[in-house]
A and B are shown apart, each in its own frame.
Chain A
Amino acid sequence: MNEILTAIIAKYNYWSFLILLLIGLHAMISKNNLVKKVIGMSIFQSAIILFYVSIGYKKGATIPITEHGHGHANEVVHQTAAEMVAGFANPLPHVLMLTAIVVGVGTLGVALALVQKIHRVYGTIEEDEILEKIKE
């Protein structure tokens, strides 16, 4: 029992990321309402962000900011390189995800603009109704 629990604890983040990913993907493909599709898209993206952020986490580390500041570089670093490395979370995934969030919000804006235009053209944002109108 305990082993299973540790196994779950060791990986549960990946599993929850997976659940969110699938919820998002499913919504993007199967939802009929276009806004719901867009929400699904955002969930899908944030699931991926969650995955990346999980990569960056280190047990026993702290946020990736040291206390050194401008002009204090001559203050001796009290930690060895190895300690530094163990002490700070991995900053690279964070950087990547900042970019991904920005890309996400850009896509969101464009998607919503298109939804508004579609509503203006067809008077509805339900996919089946739109398809019917196109057929006419």
Chain B
Amino acid sequence: MIKEQLPILILAVPLLASFAITLFARKSKIAAFALLVGAMGMSFVFAIGVMRQILDTGRVIHYHIGNWQPPFGIELVIDHLNAMVLVLVSGAAFLTAIYSKNTVPAEVPYRFPGEEVPERVPNYYTLYALLVTGLLGIVATGDAFNMFVLLEISALSSYALLALGGGRAYFATFKYLIVGTIGACFYLLGVGYLYIKTGSLNMPDLKVILTSPALAESPTVMIAFMLIITGIWIKMAFFPLHGWLPNAYTYASTTTSCLVAPLMTKVSVYMMIRLMFSVFSAHYIFDRLGWQNGVVWLAAAAILFGSISALGQTNLKRMLCYIIVAEVGYMVGGVWLANADGLIGATYHILSDAMMTLCLFMAVGAVIYKTGDASLYAMRGIFRKMPVTSVVFVIGALAMIGIPPTCGFFSKWYLVSGAIEARHWGFAVALLISSLINAVIFFRIIEIGYFPLFDEQEGEGGHHAHDRAVIAEAPFSMLLPMVLTALSLIAIGLYSNEIITGLVGRTIPAGLL
């Protein structure tokens, strides 16, 4: 019995945890933490179970909620693509949950001088669980409207989590709220336009209806597609709609950025892929509309803009935020290259980029946790003070640059091959330039971390000065998820062929092969 119910359990467990925390753990931080980690762990296990099921049978899982046949009821549809994303989201959430043990009690209640609200911690965990539920729900659902509702859940809870950064975070979050609402409403309106022409909300059903030639000609459907895509682009901070992201993520607390930064944008990319190929079709988008050239150029611009802006930042988190903007360009560009390699690269990059971003944010978070400083110079002497953290950071950086055998190399490989195949040299060049800029960015930081006591050196007399620096490593609860994430970067890289042939490659829509 449990086997058939696995898809719903993936989301039901975090959801249960969210109000279990409200009901039973309002007083105890530890109980709330334990509930959260337990729920995330279970959800991760279930997600892996679903993925195994799909890998074993090779069939798409349809789970009818309330036992109503689609398109009348809502169904969960899980194929190779979202099985992978489900594992990714629940896995990253699980790791971040462990990571939060020390950071949340240290940061969340004390954002203002003179204001201390310990009750915030359980609330924080509740919202954390809700956010993860929302993201998992978006990934699992097969209903266009349901996706909107879940999008709003994840958005609302992320507003709360981001706002808890305090101070400037409020205004940044407010802007995000306004922009995010515009995005969500565009999506809703787009779904409305589709509904008025098709009468259905179920994605597989919509796909069937939209194949009719009359609808392919209809301007309404085109506008619907445009609204939906624009809405999602706003949500994923695709250039030039990215303005809200750097501020919103920079001022957030450590755990929030670790959770939100890697997952929100990636889930939006997933949404884009899902809607493009499971509601509309490659044929409709690339052959009939034919906007791919423009979009890929836009993606190239996003990559360059993001990378160059990141180069100018002195705040570590803000720098990573701009890198996210660039990475979104990678994925959007990859999808819109309109060939299999590009799409494989983009899909695989969802996985690898989420883990890279997570890895870097975790390492940076640990540095902030120990030094209280988020500027580049917080990294000074970090190789000696926090050896494990710095190794994790270096692995994350190498993946970001795209050095084999980390996963970043392979996704870039596919993206560039896709660009070559599509003869889109601008995108290929943008990718390579961005790799180079990433190399500059990260080696600048590594250099700061590696050359420890520059200014003080004269005073302390020679090389032996920094031998005295003591090791002050982050607590175990932060190191463990960090190291696991870093290892996963290499594992994802080494198993890239298995991942691509087993999962990613199975999701390529027929029109692209």
CB distance from A131 to the nearest CB of B (A): 9
Instruction: Check: B167 CB closer than 8 A to any chain A CB.
Output: yes
A2: Cβ under 8 A from any B Cβ: no
Tell me, yes or no, whether B436 is within 8 Å of chain A by CB: no
CA distance A130 to B247 in the complex (A): 14
Q: A99 near B171 (CB under 8 angstroms)? A: no
* CB closest residue in chain B, given A55: B196
A 100-136 binary contact with B (CB < 8 Å = 1; else 0): 1001001100110011011001100000001000100
Check if A23 is an interface residue, CB within 8 A of chain B. no
Whether A118 contacts B192 by the Cβ 8 Å rule is: no
Are B168's CB and A134's CB within 8 A?
A: yes
Set of chain B residues within 8 Å of A106, measured between Cβ atoms: 152, 156
Question: Is the beta-carbon distance between B189 and A48 smaller than 8 angstroms?
Answer: yes
| Cβ-defined contact, A110 with B185, below 8 A | no
Report whether B177 and A110 are in contact in the complex, using a CB–CB cutoff of 8 Å.
yes
Say yes or no: A130-B171 contact (C-beta < 8 A), given A107-B152, A110-B156, A114-B159. yes
Which residues of the partner chain B approach A41 to less than 8 Å between Cβ atoms? 178, 181
* B180 CB → nearest A CB, Å: 9
| Count of interface residues, chain A, beta-carbon cutoff 8 Å | 30
Q: Which residues in A have their C-beta under 8 angstroms from that of B192?
A: 48, 51-52, 55
Closest B residue to A109 by beta carbon equals B156
In chain B, residues 356-404, which have Cβ atoms closer than 8 Å to a Cβ of chain A? none
Bound-state CA distance A99–B146 (Å) is: 10
Complex CA gap A57/B201 in Å reads 18
Docked-complex contact A118 and B167, CB < 8 angstroms:
no
Are B182 and A28 closer than 8 Å at their CB atoms?
yes
Closest CB-CB distance, B349 to chain A, in whole Å? 31
Q: State which residues 159-207 of B face A: CB under 8 Å.
A: 159-160, 163, 167-168, 170-171, 173-174, 177-178, 181-182, 185, 188-189, 192, 195-196, 201
Residue count of chain B within 8 Å CB distance of chain A:
25
Nearest Cβ distance between residue B43 and chain A, in whole angstroms? 24
The reply on B149 being an interface residue by CB < 8 A is yes
Contact across chains for B149 and A48 when beta carbons are under 8 A apart:
no
Least CB distance, B504 to chain A, in whole angstroms: 33
Chain B CB within 8 A of A96 CB: yes
Kindly report which residue of chain B lies nearest to residue A118, judged by CB atoms.
B170
- CA of A52 to CA of B185 in the docked complex: distance in angstroms? 12
Assembly CA distance A122 to B472 (angstroms): 37
B145 at the interface (CB under 8 A from A): yes
How many whole Å from B257's CB to the nearest CB in chain A? 18
Docked-complex contact B188 and A117, CB < 8 angstroms: no
Contact A103 B152 (CB under 8 A): yes
Closest to B72 in A: A92
On whether the beta carbons of B189 and A51 are closer than 8 Å, the reply is yes
Q: Which of A44, A93, A111 contacts B174 (CB 8 A)?
A: A111
CB pair A96–B145 under 8 Å, yes or no, is: yes
| Assembly CA distance A55 to B200 (angstroms) | 12
Closest chain A residue, CB of each to CB of B155: A107
A136 to B35 Cα, complex, angstroms = 43
Tell me the A53-94 residues at the B interface (CB within 8 Å).
55, 92-93
**Is the CB–CB distance between B188 and A48 below 8 Å?**
yes
Chain B residue with Cβ nearest A28: B178
Most buried by A among B167, B173, B177: B177
- Residue in B149, B159, B182 whose CB lies within 8 Å of A103: B149
* Inter-subunit contact B178/A37 (CB<8 Å): yes
From the candidates B159, B173, B177, B182, name the one contacting A44 in the complex (CB within 8 A). Answer: B182
Measured CB to CB, the nearest residue on chain B to A38 is B178
- Give complex CA distance A107, B168 in Å: 20
Chain A residue contacts of B167, Cβ below 8 A: 121
Of B148, B168, B171, most A-chain CB atoms within 10 Å: B171
Which one of A21, A55, A96, A130 has the highest number of Cβ atoms from chain B below 10 Å of its Cβ?
A96
Contacts of A99 in B (CB 8 A): 145, 149
> Which residues of B are found within 8 Å of A117, using beta-carbon distances?
163, 170
Residue of A nearest to B182 (CB): A28
A110-B159, A114-B159, A134-B168 as given contacts; A100 in contact with B188, CB under 8 Å:
yes
State A51–B193 Cα separation when bound (angstroms).
Answer: 9
Whole-angstrom distance from the CB of A5 to the nearest CB of chain B? Answer: 23
Q: Are B174 and A107 in contact (CB under 8 A)?
A: no
A111 to B170, CA, bound (A): 10
Chain A residues closer than 8 Å to B188, beta-carbon distance: 48, 100
Provide the bound-state CA to CA distance between A122 and B148, in Å: 33
Whole-angstrom CA separation of A19 from B474 in the bound complex? 56
A55 to B192, CA, bound (A): 9
Among the listed B156, B182, B185, B195, which residue makes an inter-chain contact with A55, where contact means beta carbons less than 8 Å apart?
Answer: B195
A20 contacts B by Cβ under 8 Å = no
Query: How far is the CB of B111 from the nearest CB of chain A, in Å?
Result: 10
Which residues on the A side are within 8 Å of B152 (C-beta)? 103, 106-107
Best-buried of B181, B182, B189 by chain A (most CB within 10 Å): B181
Complex alpha-carbon distance, A103 and B168, angstroms: 26
The answer for the CA separation of A45 and B189 in the assembled complex, in Å, is 10
Known A28-B182, A44-B185, A107-B152; contact A114-B163, beta-carbon cutoff 8 A: yes
A-B CB proximity, top 7 nearest? A117-B170, A114-B174, A103-B152, A118-B170, A55-B196, A118-B171, A48-B189
Q: Give 28 pairs: A residue, B residue, CB < 8 Å, sorted on A.
A: A21-B189, A28-B178, A28-B181, A37-B178, A41-B178, A48-B185, A48-B189, A48-B192, A52-B192, A52-B195, A55-B195, A55-B196, A99-B149, A103-B152, A106-B152, A107-B156, A107-B181, A110-B159, A110-B160, A111-B178, A114-B170, A114-B173, A115-B174, A117-B163, A118-B170, A121-B168, A130-B171, A134-B168
Contact surface of B with A, Cβ cutoff 8 Å = 145, 148-149, 152, 156, 159-160, 163, 167-168, 170-171, 173-174, 177-178, 181-182, 185, 188-189, 192, 195-196, 201
Which residues of A approach B to under 8 Å, CB–CB? 21, 25, 28, 34, 37, 41, 44-45, 48, 51-52, 55, 92-93, 96, 99-100, 103, 106-107, 110-111, 114-115, 117-118, 121-122, 130, 134
